[in-house]
Amino acid sequence: MRYAWLIFGAILVDTSLLMGANSKTPTLAIEQAANSEAPPTAKEIPKRIVTHGDERVDNYFWLREKDNPEVTAYLKAENAYAEKVTSHLEPFRKRLYEEMLGHLKETDVSAPVKRGEWFYYSRTEKGKDYPIYCRKRGNLEAAEQVILDCNTLAKDKEFFSIGQFAPSDDNRLLAYTTDTTGYRQYTLYVKDLDRDKLLPDTAERVDSVAWTTDNLALYYVTEDKVTKRSDSLFRHELAQKTTDDRLFFEADELYDISVQRSLDRSFIFLTSESKLSTEVRFCKADGAKHDLKVIEPRSPDHKYFAAHRKGEFYLRTNDGAKNYRIVKASPDNAGRSAWKELVPHDPAVKIDDVDLFANYAVLSERTGGLERLRVLDLEAGGSHIMSLPDPTYELAVDLNPDFETSVLRYRYSSLVAPESFFDYDMNKRSRVLVKQVEVPAYDASRYTSERIFATASDGTKIPCSVVYRKGIVRNGQNPVHLYAYGSYGYSYPVYFSYPRLALLDRGVIYVIAHIRGGGEMGEVWRDQGRMMQKMNTFTDFIACAEHLIKEQYTSASKLSISGGSAGGLLIGAVLNMRPELFQVAVAYVPFVDVLNTMLDATLPLTTSEYIEWGNPNEKPAYDYMKTYSPYDNVRKQNYPAILVRTSLNDSQVPYWEAAKFVAKIRTMKTDKHPLLLLTNLAAGHGGASSRYKHLEDTSFDYGFMLAELGIDQ
């Protein structure tokens, strides 16, 4: 999926900067610098593309040539240009960076998670970029054992990321995966924790893993090296020199696979999933070799997911239930005809997930666009919903390795409340705060959040989550930043962000628009913003912007916008549709070359996403995509100030989409506003992996955006 986990956030400043006290008309400094400095020019090499009799000429198709020195030179020239025309903002960016860093507790410890006798946690140290994974035996006062020091593993590497982290049942071994390029291509390693030694057992391009209960074998899924589709399941016996057995290959290009083990450790589940249907296979997890059996054969538009408890499968299914229901079945007769309903469908409540424990089931639900947790007592019967304090928030079940427990670990945050981890006693209905992330120099009482609704062009009410510094008056002159995603049925989380404080303390009102295409209001919400209804995503966003102006939150000259990945598609589309509505836009790793990407089946993600965006090899889908594909709709008109970020090793959205988009706008735009392209030459879809480099990038983005809004102090 073209996801972007991009946090727009920030911190506390001197009171003279509060609520836009030093705001002025948008600065001309960047415009003057941009217009006095000739921007890089990508040469034009026309490529004629004919599809369904329709001819398009792509002058920048050549930028796909990653190994071409001219491509590298162009990207570096754009980086140098962006730095030069914003160089006067360097002192401002340094202040922003120091403010944000001042809200980060650099040396910190995560909430510990108990696995058997061991407490696992991670910690960070001041000045170090990456976490250190540790554990203690018996109690938290015991001696610490460092499991993985990512700072050591990342030494001399420009990028480093941990993917899977899976201790064996006896806590003697650790299976983990690492990516050192940003391409999200992970290598599997197995470490003997008792001896602090790596074993010779490795595998390439590993996506998910699951241990057997005898601690002697691993199931793991690998991806195709070209398409990056997760398509093969292997079983690996430790210390065996024989070739691993491939147990399953997913031949359908619309599907990816993943492997999990049930929390009670009884079964291995292999889930084949497309955007609209699933098929689950299973076998016992005891370590013996077993054939995989299908629970229910795949069928169009049917999605289901499996868990196990006390001899029964619990299935979350959309069979006759758009927003899902829960059914039970015996592993010996698990097909649809034998399903017994446990939780019926409720059109007003979407069941996002179910976590099974020995005596309880916890349903992650969403109603009215808000998350909630429902606890079902599977022995005594009955259920209850946990209460929450804020009008808009993020809520999720956290790591819970113990099947027999009656205590649920969950995490909670809101736009004003830093992330907190709670242990909730499902018997007593009481909770204990395990850890709240400390945010230095932050006073939550100075901020407030609310939930408002904009009206879309077809009358649909679009929820928006809003946060701002108390005391702001709606006079039409406040700077506003509007963010959205709106794809894949993904509900964008309403979380706390310490970098975001740098915006709030300068009078910026921060808004998240929960537009169609996401999953905030259930599966219908998703369907109304995909395929041949994708245009709703863009018009919803425009409606939210217009609502903020109409209700005197802001004006067009004070409105900034951003989005990443598929949210970058959103930003590109609305810039073409309504450029006069925005003062400045920031697009992260934007999916903007929709037609060319979706017509190229050799690229990662393309074929599996035909049922998200449509298959342009079919003329109706091609014609519809062409109406909104940002690259294909750039035209001669004024555009606002624009910053586009991309990464050279992005496997989700290739760097050339952003590069081509910027190159084309340069030749077409009729304004004098700055247009900047920044390419991270050593990262992937999520940008820099170093936490300090990530803050530096954020300070650059905020500096650019705030300056364009008339705030440069």
CA distance linking residue 558 with residue 246, whole number of Å: 57
Residue 635 burial (CB count, 10 A): 13
pLDDT of residue 6: 39
For residue 269, the Cα-to-chain-centroid distance in whole angstroms is 24
Q: What is the mean pLDDT of residues 41-50?
A: 97
Annotated catalytic sites, by residue? 565, 650, 685
CA distance linking residue 630 with residue 407, whole number of Å: 49
Burial string for 396-431 (b: 16+ CB within 10 Å, else e) reads ebeebbbbebebbbbbbbbbbbbbbbbbbebeeeeb
Please, which residues have CB within 8 angstroms of residue 394's CB and are 6 or more apart in sequence? Answer: 371, 411, 412, 413, 414, 493, 494, 495
pLDDT of residue 242: 79
CA distance linking residue 471 with residue 550, whole number of Å: 20
**What does the mean pLDDT of the chain come to?**
94
Q: Please tell me the pTM assigned to this model.
A: 0.94
pLDDT of 18 above 50: no
Read off the pLDDT band of 31 (50, 70, 90).
confident
Read off the pLDDT band of 713 (50, 70, 90).
confident
CA angle 262, 266, 268 (to 5 degrees): 60
Which CA distances in Å does 116 have to 109, 402, 472? 20, 8, 51
Read off the pLDDT band of 26 (50, 70, 90).
very low
What are 652-661's pLDDT values in tens digits?
999 999 999 9
- Give me the domains of the chain, ranges plus CATH numbers: 15-102+442-708 (3.40.50.1820)
Residue 454 burial (CB count, 10 A): 24
What are 583-606's pLDDT values in tens digits?
999 999 999 999 999 999 999 989
CA angle 604, 609, 610 (to 5 degrees): 120
CA angle 30, 36, 41 (to 5 degrees): 95
CA distance linking residue 109 with residue 315, whole number of Å: 36
pLDDT of residue 11: 27
> What are the φ and ψ backbone dihedral angles of 175, each rounded to 5 degrees?
-100, 125
What are 115-149's pLDDT values in tens digits?
999 999 999 999 999 999 999 999 999 999 999 99
Determine the straight-line distance between the first and last CA of the chain, rounded to whole angstroms: 38
What are 230-289's pLDDT values in tens digits?
999 999 999 887 789 899 999 999 999 999 999 999 999 999 999 999 999 999 999 999
Please, which residues have CB within 8 angstroms of residue 241's CB and are 6 or more apart in sequence? Answer: none
DSSP β-ladder status, 420-425 and 430-436 = antiparallel
pLDDT of 441 above 80: yes
Residue 682 burial (CB count, 10 A): 17
CA distance linking residue 460 with residue 518, whole number of Å: 14
CA distance linking residue 173 with residue 190, whole number of Å: 7
Which CA distances in Å does 530 have to 274, 444, 523? 15, 37, 11
For residue 258, give the 3-state DSSP assignment: strand
pLDDT of residue 1: 62
Task: Answer yes or no: are the C-beta atoms of 230 and 223 closer than 8 Å.
Answer: yes
CA distance linking residue 175 with residue 189, whole number of Å: 6
For residue 651, give the 3-state DSSP assignment: coil
Question: How deeply is 279 buried, as exposed, middle or buried, from its count of CB atoms within 10 A (0-12, 13-18, 19+)?
Answer: buried
Mapped to the 3 state alphabet, what secondary structure does 322-390 carry?
CCCEEEEEECCECCHHHCEEEECCECCEEEEEEEECCCEEEEEEEECCEEEEEEEECCCCCEEECCCCC
What are 460-499's pLDDT values in tens digits?
999 999 999 999 999 999 999 999 999 999 999 999 999 9
Q: What is the mean pLDDT of residues 316-337?
A: 97
DSSP β-ladder status, 173-179 and 447-455 = unpaired
Read off the pLDDT band of 28 (50, 70, 90).
low
> What are the φ and ψ backbone dihedral angles of 87, each rounded to 5 degrees?
-60, -30
Instruction: For tokens 């930003």, name the residue.
Output: 571
pLDDT of residue 439: 98
Please, which residues have CB within 8 angstroms of residue 83's CB and are 6 or more apart in sequence? Answer: none
pLDDT of residue 21: 30
Read off the pLDDT band of 180 (50, 70, 90).
very high
Nearest to 346 by CA among 318, 325, 317, 316: 325
Largest CA distance in the chain: 75
Bin 251: left if φ > 0, else alpha if -120 < ψ < 50, else beta: alpha
